């Protein structure tokens, strides 16, 4: 860290008035895109010497964001609206509930039938 700062400061000292200082500022960077669970995309520029963190707080909503767009880190707080995953889970549980209901109805009917026979 301190070494990098010194290097930049050194290049600035040697920079002339022809925009060379600006070139020095823009040169050694890497842009990393982070995705949060709100589907915000945040481009963060790091020095090439910097260790890029695996997660970054989304500057738009403050949620943790990761570099994996398909698998953003889950929100630590309760979501004000449903995420895609919540919808998928809800659909799945609906299907399961429907299946359970079908079974229950079938069981009820078979009991009723057998009851008719026995009594």
Q: Per CB under 5 A, does 40 bind Zn ion?
A: yes
Closest distance to Zn ion from the beta carbon of 62 (Å): 7
Is residue 38 at the binding interface for Zn ion, with CB under 5 A as the rule?
yes
Q: Does 61 bind Zn ion (CB under 5 A)?
A: yes
The beta-carbon contacts of 89-93 under 8 Å, at least 24 apart in sequence, are none
Tell me which DSSP letter residue 7 carries.
H
Q: Beginning with the edge strand found earlier in the chain, give each strand of the sheet holding 64-66 in spatial order.
A: 41-47, 29-36, 64-66, 55-57
**CA dihedral (60, 63, 67, 68) positive or negative:** negative
Q: Smallest distance, Å, CB 11 to Zn ion?
A: 35
Binding window for Zn ion (CB under 5 A); candidates: 21-29, 56-64, 71-79, 104-112: 56-64
Which positions lie near Zn ion, rule CB under 5 A? 36, 38, 40, 58, 60-61
């Amino acid at each position: 860290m301190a070494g990098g700062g010194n290097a930049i400061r050194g290049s600035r000292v040697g920079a002339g008035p022809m925009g060379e200082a600006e070139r020095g500022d823009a040169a050694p960077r890497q842009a990393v895109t982070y995705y949060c669970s709100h589907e915000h995309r945040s481009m963060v520029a790091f020095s090439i010497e910097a260790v890029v963190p695996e997660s970054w707080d989304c500057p738009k909503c403050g949620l943790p964001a990761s570099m994996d767009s398909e698998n953003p880190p889950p929100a630590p707080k309760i979501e004000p609206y449903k995420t895609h995953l919540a919808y998928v889970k809800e659909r799945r549980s609906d299907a399961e509930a429907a299946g359970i209901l079908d079974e229950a109805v079938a069981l009820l009917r078979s009991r009723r039938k057998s009851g008719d026979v026995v009594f």
